[in-house]
Structure 1
């Protein structure tokens, strides 16, 4: 549940206030270190059972916790696949069924982890083989036993059915996914961002805000921006916001080291994050695969146009709403040419596109609407 772990953690935090409003008590069990602290304050209960071992995150304390506590709940929602937590729920439910007890209903949310990209990407051959093995031994059983599988958008649900031949869930639903309305745009938000990264003060900039990971296309973005910079030194600056401790992030810092207009701000949270969104010209995420992209929708909620790729599962909703630019990464130079198009647009054109993005957020990705749909679906399974 540490915010640095990406979208699902934030998605849970976005939805819980609306579950509480509907009279639903929600608690979270996770495999974070029991002594770990988060840079955010949560008003719901989080049980930390300890970090797991290996990339599979094996943690026997989770199984013990589930056996002792799972009957306290009406529903168990499993977020993500390919790690021990999914098998632990499966094993616990299997044991309880033998005792003829009233067991909670199990919902699995893959969060894009059944996307065929992960089995087809050329740099994931060994991981794809591992997934095939784990699928045949564990995950297909978990999917088949669950009462229902929830997806965050139509494209995710469609793609998930194409990845493994033995995919056979009992039921599937698109329940949507949303983000909360951001805080009102005030001068204090901007100042909080400038306190963290004063180098960007009073400059126009484009914003990448996400994990700095191979999947996110950060290298493609830096290379395209560097090419444009060679011909035009007056570009808006480029701010890359995300944790910089990984080896890949350090490689990206090196890749950008000769360009004084590329800035790495580190991870942004709270007011500083919203300040970065509100004051950028546009938000950029040229990802190789994105199930939903919470940061994309957060930018849209701040009335900012977004550049994404056709590998982001909500691209068609954004395209239809006119709130951004959709790049096909298979087309050479399309990312660079789209960046140039953004740079050459007037302030009025960017403002209009940002308003379109905000309308799409209101119509498709408002958290209250999505949370209500989620609750309604729960009540009917």
Structure 2
């Protein structure tokens, strides 16, 4: 199959959707499929050179919404080369532009919301939600309504997506999601990471890896760690992720107030061998997030034989809990502290058993090849010839 992915950006700092497209794209190419990507990045954006898939950067985009005048003409000219077009993410122009270009086309498009319909955003940012509500009927609602399928990565995400807006219509389907396993040479990865951060040698490291953002529960993790630090004086908290924003500065201040600044390391964003080295060096992975659609980093941790301490707002928490691949609690200071204290008090045999289960869970549920095969299955079942689709869509729109 020939598949086109659309993203607002391929900047790796933007998080999970980019990594998902990247890993599934590489996997699908090895299966014989042709993958291309369109982004709204400017052609001279510094992160484009290292992106390994065939890429069309149609920017520069205008404003936060990412208005890109080249997108619709490009799609109208090139979309017929593809069997399917996949929009990754909502609330920026690449989705509406795809709808505008392909709504009456013979080329089907699909949408991965990637958790962007979670009602957490509605509760946490009511003013932003009000603005989105005004915009919703004229753009994102239509984008979802006319998509061949709206693809959710978990059943939890699918159910939550129905709660954000009263006007909602989508051809829903849950598909597997995952990532590639870590590189095999764990010793070299550990050595490279410890050469960069020698203060972590011999520490019992609790790793957070992701965007330093309010929704990730970073403040909960710091407060919880402060509550349990005396259980094991060798425990050390590592915060790995872009940390140049106001929220990160506030967290550093909080660490000083809690008296844990000497028990923490801030690495900044990690990629490549340093990222995998962080996983291989750590004792456990922690993510007490308030909202997490899937959590690529959670899957990467499991693939690194690293048990995970997550909240029940991470949408794969049921699988983790069912398998015993980690500890699941609430997205509160008390919940995070309970997970940390339980882990720090576990005996060696229980720890090793959970490590082995973490890897089994990754291979059975979250390996990228399972994701690629399931996505291909959905596309092949639904992207065939569609006689009369234009008339059907007109009737659908007239019905609201």
Deviation string, structure 1 residues 268-312 (Cα, Å, up to 9, x no partner): 111111111012110000000000000001000111110111101
Deviation string, structure 1 residues 115-152 (Cα, Å, up to 9, x no partner): 1111122xx01111122112122111111111111111
Contact preservation (8 Å) 1:185, 1:278? no
Determine helix, strand or coil for the equivalent of 1:168. Answer: coil
Q: Distance in 1 between matches of 2:254 and 2:17?
A: 29
Deviation string, structure 1 residues 218-276 (Cα, Å, up to 9, x no partner): 011011112333x4571410000001111111211222234201110111111111111
Q: Distance in 2 between matches of 1:58 and 1:198?
A: 45
Contact preservation (8 Å) 2:329, 2:338? no
| Corresponding position of 1:50 | 59
Contact preservation (8 Å) 1:33, 1:49? yes
Q: Distance in 2 between matches of 1:256 and 1:59?
A: 41
Matched, 1:236 2:235: yes
Matched, 1:92 2:88: no
Moved over 4 A (4+): none
Determine helix, strand or coil for the equivalent of 2:195. Answer: helix
| Corresponding position of 1:9 | 18
Q: Distance in 2 between matches of 1:293 and 1:46?
A: 25
* RMSD value, Cα: 1.7
Q: Report the count of equivalent residues.
A: 370
| Corresponding position of 2:175 | 175
Deviation string, structure 1 residues 319-366 (Cα, Å, up to 9, x no partner): 000011111125x62221221111112333222112111111111111
| Corresponding position of 2:378 | 377
**TM-score (structure 1 length as normaliser):** 0.92
Give the gaps of 5 or more residues in structure 2: 1-9, 383-400
Deviation string, structure 1 residues 66-94 (Cα, Å, up to 9, x no partner): 23322222211000111111111111124
1:316–1:297 Cα change, 3 Å = same
Give the gaps of 5 or more residues in structure 1: none
Contact preservation (8 Å) 2:308, 2:326? yes
| Corresponding position of 1:295 | 297
Written as runs of structure 1 = structure 2, the 5 A alignment for 1:225-374 is: 225-229=225-229, 231=230, 234-257=233-256, 258-259=259-260, 260-329=262-331, 333-374=334-375
Displacement after TM superposition at 1:9 (Å): 0.4
**TM-score (structure 2 length as normaliser):** 0.88
Displacement after TM superposition at 1:8 (Å): 0.6
Matched, 1:212 2:221: no
Q: Distance in 2 between matches of 1:370 and 1:72?
A: 23
Structure 1 window deviating more from structure 2 (279-288 vs 55-64): it is: 55-64
Displacement after TM superposition at 1:44 (Å): 1.8
Displacement after TM superposition at 1:201 (Å): 2.4
1:321–1:40 Cα change, 3 Å = farther
Displacement after TM superposition at 1:40 (Å): 7.9
